[in-house]
Amino acid sequence: MPSKAATVLRNLGQQDYLGVWQAMQQFTAERDNDTADQIWIIEHPPVYTLGLNGKREHLLKTNAIEIVESDRGGQVTYHGPGQLVIYLLADLRRLNKGPRQMVTILENAVINTLRQYGIAAQAQPKAPGVYVNERKIASLGLRIKHGCCYHGLSINNDMDLSPFADINPCGYAGLQVTQLADLGVKISTQELAVPVVHQLLQAIEI
């Protein structure tokens, strides 16, 4: 087996969801056994995304925000400015990890990062994501193709949370959301990305 190349980090700034999703699909389709894994750091303009099993009944109200039917796991969520989005494009066969292990890696990266800022957070096995006092602060979803994953996680940092009120976040009626800014942590989204990426690299570059 060829030696694993160092993970490539790409800081892409604010990008439309659809174009980035298509780029992830293309990267995954074209990669081979020697292709280095990548981590993409992004923010998206306002958009609702539905996962593969997403039900439109969880879109409670019609508003002006674009809706994209994605191929990730999970139900419906919202992305917008002030939310950190990190996509992990990794060869699971080379990492010798399964889908559930990758979900746990993503959850732990968020939990360990929030701990550094004095925030106690937890995962919930029946509802993937990360929660603070029963309020969701991070969502995640992956797609596995040909033994490789793409998509990843989003963390609410300092954003307008009101669009979440027009959906059942991740398909759960009445689920409340929160963000770092409301928990007394005021940092830039780029600053927040640093410890999250560090946690991911520690987990996959072993």
Q: Is 79 marked within a binding site?
A: yes
Q: Is 188 marked within a binding site?
A: no
Q: Is 140 marked within a binding site?
A: yes
Residues 170, 183, 193, 200: which is the catalytic one? 170
Q: Is 75 marked within a binding site?
A: yes
φ and ψ of 76, to 5 deg: -105, 140
Q: Do residues 45 and 75 touch, judged by C-beta distance below 8 A?
A: no
Q: Is 84 marked within a binding site?
A: no
Q: Is 139 marked within a binding site?
A: yes
Alpha-carbon distance of 204 to 185, in angstroms, equals 28
Cα-Cα end-to-end distance for the chain? 16
Helix (H) or strand (E) segment spanning residue 199: helix 189-204
Amino acid at 135: R
State yes or no: is 149 an active-site residue. no
Q: Is 70 marked within a binding site?
A: no
Alpha-carbon distance of 138 to 111, in angstroms, equals 9
Tokens of 88: 């992990």
Tokens of 44: 């998206």
Q: Is 152 marked within a binding site?
A: yes
Which residues make up each annotated binding site for substrate? 72-79, 139-141, 152-154
Active site residues: 170
